[in-house]
Structure 1
Amino acid sequence: MSAFDPAHPVLDLTASSVVLTQQICDVESVSGNEGLLADAIVAALADAAHLEIFRDGDTIVARTNLGRSQRVAIAGHIDTVPLNANLPTRYETIDGVDYLWGRGTADMKAGTAVQLKLAAELVAPTVDITWMWYDHEEVSNELNGLTRLAANRPDLFAADFAILGEPSNSQVEGGCNGNLRAEIRAYGLRAHSARSWVGDNAIHKAASILDTLANYQAREVEVDGLVYREGLNAVGISGGVAGNVIPDEVMVHVNYRFGPSRSGEEAIAHIHELFAGFDIRIVDLAEGARPGLDAPLAQRFLAAVGGVAKPKYGWTDVARFSAMGVPAVNYGPGDPLKAHADDERVSIQQIIDCEAGLRAWLSDGVDSSVDADHRTDADTH
């Protein structure tokens, strides 16, 4: 095979999932720039006769229609946060562990690569599968490719169980915390700083807001056997007019990660309770999701991939499936702590393990691959 050209990508779905991860990562696809990678995915699946392909913007859906009694949705996003001198990818070894280093390796192109490989190879899985690869996950919910797809083709979300390939160290993480962002404003009166006593300094009033945040005791809440940790933090602050003007407005940007036992409305009410008397504007809200592990199909999945389920602290699109009545979990290679980091990297062994786990569950002991030999190169790169 000739050298991979990120400017004109041709994805090789016969390569190992590790090599495929590198190919996908080396195609820069910061949110809003997913078109080139989406084109490459569609082209790579063009000869997969067992899949029905749909495209909505830069979101691609590929599904089997085998008449199975149950259907599973398996999804992953194809965008990343902005680069910071971390492409192209490279291999490195740290403390005896082999990694693929670079933007998108953990969040979450390794998971997407595993999914693409299995989508191409598993022509007769034990359940029908709807594969989803979508754009704009790393930005606002309004731009999210699944938001658009749900409006245009809600029928494609019909499933008995869903898996998001978000980084989870190739272990199962159930549900997710909700996510709220609020702007908390305080007001005053402008004046010349030489005569500050005739004004009212709004920035000084931010002290009360910051004290509330600094002294806040975040909850640990158990939901369906998993313990979720919440968090309430200032993530930005702005105010001021000029170096000689008493400011008349200050805004503290607050992020609240709330457990899935609390609804979005309850989270909003909690913010209003904490910051009573201030101008509160909710600028983003995403509901959390319960673990989704009580369904029999989910239990079989957990047994097949091994391990014990853990909670997901960050928000993921499992919440979207949960809201549509589809129990969903996170399962993908990569350490969540390395997501968005400048030294983002993924363990090569985790990529291999994730592919093996999903393949075993979806095959259930039956050789459903296009070519069984493809399994032998999963541990090479």
Structure 2
Amino acid sequence: MQDSAINLLRGLVERYSPSGKEDEVGYFLSSRMEELGFLVKRDIVGNVIGEHGDGSPRVLLCGHMDTVPPELPVRLEDGILYGRGTVDAKGPLAALVMAASGLVNDGHSGTLIVVGAVDEEGMSTGVKNLVNDGLEADYAIFGEPTNVETITVGYKGGLVLKIDCETETGHSSAPWLFKNAIEKAMGIWHQVKSLQLPEEDSESRFHSVSYCLRRIKGGGIGSVVPSSCQILVEARIPPAISVDRLSAELLALIDAYRVDNPDVNVYVEILGHTEPYLSDKKSPLVRAISRSIWRNRKAKVGLINKTGTGDMNIYGRATGTPTITYGPGDPHLDHTSYEHIGVQDYLDSITVLKGALTDLLLLSGQN
């Protein structure tokens, strides 16, 4: 099993698959999952979906096949696999596949559904299609790097705004005569990032809203006062605040800015949003993984909330299914130029997941 697990992970990592270009890695994963005993299909958006067994409980194991760019050299050295996606999130995806395949070989009750999803790093097209297709499960585990001894039970939500500012232009030798669109956009940005709602806990990174200025586009060539500027603002939203609540506050803030600056045209578009999600820490799913971590690592289990956003948010909220995120790898290596994963941690996570699934299926079958 060890060689098979390492070969699967390396095969996934060697097939570079930025969002929107998951076909090659999808065909590879489909073939390997068929060899491991799953009944495999591809849905309309390109998700790889493998099933084994029948009846209840139905357990969804979902990881994503896409990565961020750029491609990185792949090498295995001193027990460490380097390459794009080793951590985020082909390592966790491979661990889910191999853990489930262990139960296929040993026999199990219930239904295992293993998904290699597309576009998690983009617009989450993959998981949204699972929801639209009505994929039902009693429990769901999403594969993302948490480290072997930690379970993610909460993610912030997200909101992305595109804000355009337009002004009358003129010669840059007399900037006092004209409104600079870049400066005006920065004025909006400073008001946005200073916004604080009563529901926030300013002392907590997780329970407060965080803002990131992701892009600025403005100005041009020549001696001209900039007449247009576009900024992209991303907010991460804590569980106490809904997307609608924060959106309303931000739009009201911008409306007030328009009133105070009648000579500035401001246009706002919401490009994407995801609600926050918190899992029940006392659910059978959390208990099963916690017990398996303790059995196999003899370590205190960490239940953590993360300031990021994942596919867990979308599926868990849409379906009401008890949902957590778990997988090998250091999340601080996500999207870095030195992304890598320890092979032993990857193998240990497979053991943890297989033990947790065994407990979960047996417990549910007895109930």
Normalised to the residue count of structure 2, the TM-score between the two structures is: 0.83
Deviation sequence 1:146-179 (CA, Å, 0-9, x none): 223433x21xx21111111111112200131111
Q: CA 1:350/1:59 → structure 2, altered by over 3 Å: closer, same or farther?
A: same
Of 107, 116, 120, which residue of structure 1 is paired with 2:97? 116
Q: Match of 1:360, as an amino acid? A: G
2:59 aligned partner:
72
Residues 325-362 of structure 1 show CA distances to partners (whole Å, capped at 9, x for unaligned) of 11211100111111110111112232122111111112
Output aligned runs, 1:237-316, within 5 Å.
237-275=216-254, 276-278=256-258, 279=266, 280-306=268-294, 307-316=301-310
Provide the C-alpha distance between the structure 2 equivalents of 1:197 and 1:312, rounded to a whole number of angstroms. 45
Give the superposition deviation at 1:290.
Answer: 1.5
**SS of corresponding position for 1:191:** coil
Residue 85 of structure 2 corresponds to 104
SS in 2 for 1:246: coil
Which amino acid in 1 is paired with 2:147? N
Indicate yes or no: 2:124 matched with 1:158.
no
Q: Which residue of 1 aligns with 2:153?
A: 174
Conserved in 2, the CA contact under 8 Å of 1:90 and 1:102? no
Given the superposition, is the C-alpha separation of residues 330 and 221 from structure 1 closer, same or farther in structure 2, using an over 3 Å criterion? farther
- Counterpart-to-counterpart distance in 2, 1:222 and 1:248: 39
Q: Alpha carbons of 1:116 and 1:240: their partners in 2 closer, same or farther (altered >3 Å)? A: same
Give the CA deviation at 1:221: 8.0
Partner of 2:121: 138
Of residues 42, 48, 62 in structure 2, which corresponds to 1:60? 48
Distance 1:212 1:228, change over 3 A: same
Q: How does 1:202-217 map to 2 (within 5 A)?
A: 202-212=181-191, 215=194
In structure 2, distance between residues paired with 1:221 and 1:174: 21
The CA deviation at 1:191 is 1.3
Question: What does residue 212 of structure 2 align with?
Answer: 233
Q: Which moved more, 1:326-335 or 1:191-200?
A: 191-200
SS at match of 1:208: helix
- Specify the SS of the correspondent of 1:158: coil
Query: How many residue pairs get matched?
Result: 340
Residue in structure 2 matched with residue 371 of structure 1 by the alignment:
none
Percent identity of paired positions between Structure 1 and Structure 2: 27
How far did 1:112 drift? Answer: 1.3
Aligned-pair distance for 1:20?
2.5
Q: 1:189 to 1:366 in 2, by over 3 A?
A: closer
Per the alignment, in what secondary structure is the counterpart of residue 302 of structure 2? coil
Partner of 2:365: none
Alpha-carbon distance change, 251 to 176 in structure 1, aligned in 2, over 3 angstroms: same
> Equivalent residue of 1:234, what SS?
strand
Distance change in 2, residues 1:23/1:358 (3 Å): same
Contact 1:127/1:362 (CA < 8 Å) preserved in 2? no
Task: Give the deviation of 1:118 after TM superposition.
Answer: 2.5
User: What are the ranges of 5 or more consecutive residues in structure 1 without an aligned counterpart?
Assistant: 1-12, 93-97, 368-381
Name the structure with the higher helix share.
2
Find the residue that maps to 1:354 and give its secondary structure.
Answer: helix
Greater mean deviation of Cα atoms: 302-311 or 353-362: 302-311
Contact preservation (8 Å) 1:164, 1:318: yes
Q: What CA RMSD, in Å, does the superposition of the two structures yield over aligned residues?
A: 2.8
Q: Which stretches in structure 2 are left out of the alignment for 5+ residues?
A: 259-265, 295-300, 363-367
Change (3 A) 1:356 1:220: farther
Contact conserved, 1:26 with 1:89, CA < 8 A, in 2?
no
Q: Is the 8 A contact 2:285 2:360 kept in 1?
A: no
1:138 maps to a residue whose letter is E
Offset, 1:45: 2.6
Report the secondary structure of 2:278's partner residue: coil
Q: 1:44 aligns with which of 26, 32, 51?
A: 32
> Partners of 2:207 and 2:195 in 1: how far apart?
17
Structure 1 stretch displaced more, 123-132 or 283-292:
123-132
Aligned AA (2:324): V
